[in-house]
Amino acid sequence: MVAMTIAKLQKKKQQGEKIASLTAYDASFAKLMVEQGVDCILVGDSLGNVVQGRSSTVPVTMTDMVYHTECVRRGAPEAFIMSDLPFMSYGTLTDTLKNAAQLMQAGANMVKLEGGDWLVDSVKALTQRGIPVCAHLGLLPQSVNVLGGYRVQGKQEAQAVQLIEQARQLEAAGAQLLVLECIPNSLGKRVTEALTIPTIGIGAGPDTDGQILVMHDMLGMNSEYLPKFAKNFLEEGDGIAGAFRQFSEQVKSGDFPELKHSYEG
Instruction: Give the CATH number, domain containing residue 88.
Output: 3.20.20.60
Summarize the annotated binding site for 3-methyl-2-oxobutanoate as residue ranges: 45-46, 84, 112
Looking at the annotation, which residues are catalytic? 181
Report yes or no on 38 lying in a domain. yes
pLDDT digits (tens, 9 = 90+) for 236-262: 878 999 999 999 999 999 999 999 999
Asked whether the whole model's pTM tops 0.85, one would answer yes
Q: Are 198 and 178 in contact (CB under 8 A)?
A: yes
Report yes or no on 209 lying in a domain. yes
Report yes or no on 31 lying in a domain. yes
| pLDDT > 70 fraction of the chain, expressed in percent and rounded | 98
- Provide the domain limits for residue 135: 6-261
> Can you give the pLDDT at residue 265?
66
> Can you give the pLDDT at residue 108?
98
pLDDT digits (tens, 9 = 90+) for 108-125: 999 999 999 999 999 999
Report yes or no on 225 lying in a domain. yes
Report yes or no on 110 lying in a domain. yes
> Can you give the pLDDT at residue 148?
67
Report yes or no on 206 lying in a domain. yes
Report yes or no on 143 lying in a domain. yes
Report yes or no on 1 lying in a domain. no
Q: Point out the residues of the chain with pLDDT beneath 70.
A: 1-2, 147-148, 265
Q: How many domains does the chain have?
A: 1
